[in-house]
Amino acid sequence: MNGVSKLVLQILPIAVVLGVLGDWLLRATPWGLNVPLWTLAVLASAVVLSIRHRIDGARHIFWLALPVLLFAIGFAWRDSPAVQFFDAFAVMVAVSIWSGSREGSRIHSWGVLDCLRGLLNTGVAAVAGAALLPHKEIVWPAMPGTAKWKYARSGALGLLIALPLLFVFGGLLMAADAVFDQMVTDVLDIDFASIFSHSTLTVFFAWTVCGFLLLLFGISRPAVSESQRVDRPGLGIVEIAVPLALIDLLFVAFVIVQLRYLFGDSSLVETTTGLTYSEYARRGFFELVTVAFLALPLLLLGDWVLAEADSRSRRIFQGLAGVLLLLLAVIVASAIQRMRLYQVAYGLTELRLYTTAFMTWIGAVLAWFAVTVLRGHRRPFAAGAAIAGFCVIAALNVLNPDALIAKVNTDRARAGEEFDVYYATRLSADAVPTLLSALPTLDLEDRCVAAARLLERWTPPEDKDWRTWNRGRLTAWRVVDDASARLSALACEVPVPTDDHLPGTSPADTAQEP
């Protein structure tokens, strides 16, 4: 039996075991400790198989598994759904990079198209699963007792044919006679819905893990191989320089206008535009974020087209791209300034915090573009951009966004500013200790609503499933339980919140100020 066959015959039962384990662990919600535990089981299986079969590049399999595990641990650390979403996204990207490392190229030299190829191949492998098995290359072990196996296979096939017929005729006969119906029900006291649910989840996880391991160890062929290249279009420097120059002029005009407001005060905005400072900030922030986000692919595309250009064309492109980067830096600064003004006027929300974090990543990527692509070193750009994204997501985990939002908004309430108590009490468990400590500083109405909401949402449940253990939720349950007597004394009847008080937003995110 060849090496591929031995490896496949070990992957298949491991995938089944991981499928059963996934059904047992990940069935419990909300997710917490179960996510890093199952992830650790998958990673450990991959590392053990790579060492056991002496897979080339086993050390890459080990160290590339670390970010996957670290971001999976975020599910047991933070309760914020937004943070967990970003952790899941980081896990998917890290898994794609991990699986792509088996194709022979070094990760730090991957281009943008290589990263997209890795994401596509991993997605296809997860969907295709065991269908990716190269059956012609695998030597399956012979079944002992050929004649007996033939009869067993025929019997199993006959049973499969009989089952739907028994269900049809049995159901009709049960409907025809109550006594027969009761007898069959007593004999077949089986929860078919539960069996179907467990079987579906087990097959799903086993199928996905099998496809991932087959791709990781190079047994299955990737959907898009590294040898498949995209031919560059035949565009010259004139076709690239004209649009870049015109965009530079457009950005210059915009930046000249923005410089007045960046260093001015609210009266300058109000007298010039007729808008309040908050309206001015909200009106342009997301448009500026979109501009910065779209400009980066444009520069990458221009560099890709001119990758083989002569030195003169390269210098022209570098000059125009450099000017655009400087102008984008001012636009990014303007967007961050607008968001800062908006936060000063109306406080902090998840939407405002995460878009600011996204702009921070955009700024870092633009700086990295100037250091790498603009200087003729295109290959490290994609890896650096991915690492910057990982760093921003890791920083969000450390920062504890919901606790920060609660602190900023309760500090504003202490200073006499408006406080949206319904939004604050809809934040995740991560915000509960901060809200509880700030409770005495709120006015009487907000205090009674916050106390009632904290008791309603975070009174410890009687039955706790260890699989859903989460540090944020555990802390919230503990502090609310310790303060339950005080909260009960403060709590009042809470009215049903209006549509303005939706999770993840506040009225100031959508309403127009006077």
SS (H, E, C) 431-472: HHHHHHHHHHHCCHHHHHHHHHHHHHHHCCCCCCCHHHCCHH
For residues 37 and 149, what is the distance between their CA atoms, to the nearest angstrom? 39
For residues 45 and 378, what is the distance between their CA atoms, to the nearest angstrom? 35
Going by C-alpha positions, the residue among 390, 334, 337, 383 that lies closest to residue 361 is 390
Per-residue confidence (pLDDT) for residue 307, from 0 to 100: 65
Assigned token pair, 224:
């898009």
- 182-189 mean pLDDT: 78
**Residue 34 in 3-state DSSP?**
helix
Q: Note the pLDDT tens digit of each residue in 456-490.
A: 999 999 888 999 999 999 999 999 999 999 999 98
274: left (phi over 0), alpha (psi -120 to 50) or beta: left
Residue 497 has what DSSP assignment?
Answer: P
Q: What is the mean pLDDT of the chain?
A: 83
- CA-to-CA dists, residue 177 to 163, 164, 173, 188, 190, angstroms: 21, 20, 6, 16, 20
For residues 83 and 75, what is the distance between their CA atoms, to the nearest angstrom? 8
Kindly tell me the sign of the dihedral angle through the C-alpha atoms of 326, 328, 329, 331. positive
Burial class (CB in 10 A: 0-12, 13-18, 19+), 293: middle
Going by C-alpha positions, the residue among 324, 186, 331 that lies closest to residue 262 is 331
For residues 242 and 245, what is the distance between their CA atoms, to the nearest angstrom? 5
For residues 460 and 22, what is the distance between their CA atoms, to the nearest angstrom? 26
Q: How far apart are the first and last CA of the chain?
A: 78
Per-residue confidence (pLDDT) for residue 502, from 0 to 100: 46
The total number of residues written for the chain in this structure: 514
Please check whether residue 323 is in contact with residue 246, taking contact to mean a CB–CB distance below 8 angstroms. no
The angle at the Cα of 174, spanning 172 to 178, to the nearest 5 degrees, equals: 135
Per-residue confidence (pLDDT) for residue 495, from 0 to 100: 61
Q: Note the pLDDT tens digit of each residue in 5-27.
A: 888 889 999 999 999 999 999 99
**pLDDT band at 246; cut points 50, 70, 90:** very high
Per-residue confidence (pLDDT) for residue 504, from 0 to 100: 46
Q: At what angle do helices 81-100 and 192-216 cross, to 10 degrees?
A: 40
**What is the residue-wise DSSP string for 240-284?**
HHHHHHHHHHHHHHHHHHHHHHHSS-HHHHHHHHS--HHHHHHHH
**pTM of the predicted model as reported, rounded to 2 decimal places:** 0.84
- Percent above pLDDT 70 for the chain: 81
Burial class (CB in 10 A: 0-12, 13-18, 19+), 399: middle
Identity of the residue numbered 71: F
How remote is the C-alpha of 99 from its chain's centroid?
18
Virtual torsion, Cα 60, 61, 65, 67, nearest 10 deg: 20
- In this predicted structure, the answer to whether residue 258 has a pLDDT above a threshold of 90 is no
